Amino acid sequence: MSTEKKADFSDVTAKVDSTAEKAADFSDVTARVDSTAEIIGEQSYTIEKGDTLSKIAKTHYGSANAWKQIFEANRDTIDDPDRIFPGQVIKLPPKPADA
């Protein structure tokens, strides 16, 4: 058994004074989240059997030539514009000015 004297904290007290007069009331706070897709006009599309980028462009933009804009908007998921697959989800950018 040790003969060292241990620190005695039995008479220590603590007091915390708050500077806040009243707690903040957030009961009337509301929030709204707008989809960025709606703001910028971007949509998504799931590739179906028989689809081509030209066919999708014709359907959504009225011009098959808009396939290039679809391809550019999906460079992160489409390596070759002639190789798209059913079930693949792509982004449809806002309607091009020249479509």
Q: Sign (positive/negative) of CA torsion 38, 34, 48, 92?
A: positive
**Which pTM was predicted?**
0.56
**Using the 8-state DSSP alphabet, how is residue 56 labeled?**
H
Domain 45-92, CATH number (from 3.40.50.2000, 3.30.365.10, 3.30.70.100, 3.10.350.10) = 3.10.350.10
Q: Where are the alpha helices (DSSP H) in 1-99?
A: 36-40, 53-61, 67-73
Digit-coded pLDDT (tens) for 1-20: 567 788 887 888 877 776 66
Selection from 13, 90, 9 nearest residue 48 by Cα? 90
- Domains of the chain, by residue range, sit at 45-92
Digit-coded pLDDT (tens) for 44-74: 999 999 999 999 999 999 999 999 999 999 9
**Using the 8-state DSSP alphabet, how is residue 43 labeled?**
E
